[in-house]
Amino acid sequence: MNFTTKKDNWIIGSLLFLSFVPSIAGMVRIFQLASGSGYTVENQRFFNDPIPVVLHIGAVFFYSIFGAFQFAPAFRNKHPYWHRIFGRFLVFFGILSAISGLWLTLAYPRVLTDGDWLFGIRIVVGVWMLFCIGLGFYFAIRKEFRKHSHWMIRGYAIGLGAGTQVFTHLPWFVIVGGEPSGIPRDLLMGAGWLINLLFAEWVIRKKPEMLL
């Protein structure tokens, strides 16, 4: 596909890069569930009740990968029809991502590495993602496209949280080693969503040319 500007290529490439590791990890998880391999005490909950995690992985995959193309200004302006069509599908996958994420949080037993804060953080970001996507769709219907863009950026930033969490965990793996647990894990997980939210607000408020 021919992207029209270097800015488009940079935006799409950056978002796809951030989506890459979680997408690969998700596909590996689905393969394990389908084949019955890789069973451990830690992931037993996924084998016992695979539906929510499979829905979540699939929804996040489509939302993050195909959503990257929605934020490339020249591509969006050159292909407004495809932006609208794909946008409707992505609203569905975004909402499914948020709902299945909340389902995972509420239905699955907490793993030993999770601290007390992470449950609440996941509930907050899941509800916030639903709110952002819903409001973004509302403004699209009203043809208030700048507001639509702002809220969709906020929702997509939440959806890419897992990609950023790979990098927030890296210093721990390098310096401390092993899997963080308790409050350190809660903070590192929360930092991934917080960084994305702050970056989204920076783009919205300081870089309006990236939206045009």
Please state the domain extents for the chain: 6-211
Cβ proximity of 68 and 8 under 8 Å:
no
**Could you read off the pLDDT of 34-88 as tens digits, one per residue?**
888 877 777 788 888 899 999 999 999 999 999 998 988 887 888 888 888 989 9
Average pLDDT, the chain: 89
Angle made by CA atoms 207, 211, 212, in degrees to the nearest 5: 115
**Could you read off the pLDDT of 153-184 as tens digits, one per residue?**
999 999 999 999 999 999 999 999 888 999 99
Closest Cα to residue 132, out of 100, 94, 83, 76? 94
Average pLDDT on 198-210 reads 81
Q: Which two tokens stand for residue 100?
A: 């299945």
* Pairwise CA distance, residues 129 & 81, whole Å: 25
Cβ proximity of 154 and 200 under 8 Å:
yes
pLDDT for 137 beyond 60: yes
Q: Which residue has the higher pLDDT, 3 or 199?
A: 199
Angle made by CA atoms 171, 126, 46, in degrees to the nearest 5: 75
Helix count and strand count (H, E) for the chain: 9, 0
Query: pTM higher than 0.85, yes or no?
Result: yes
Longest dimension (CA), the chain: 51
* Pairwise CA distance, residues 127 & 110, whole Å: 19
Q: What are phi and psi of 109, to 5 degrees?
A: -65, 145
pLDDT at 128: 97
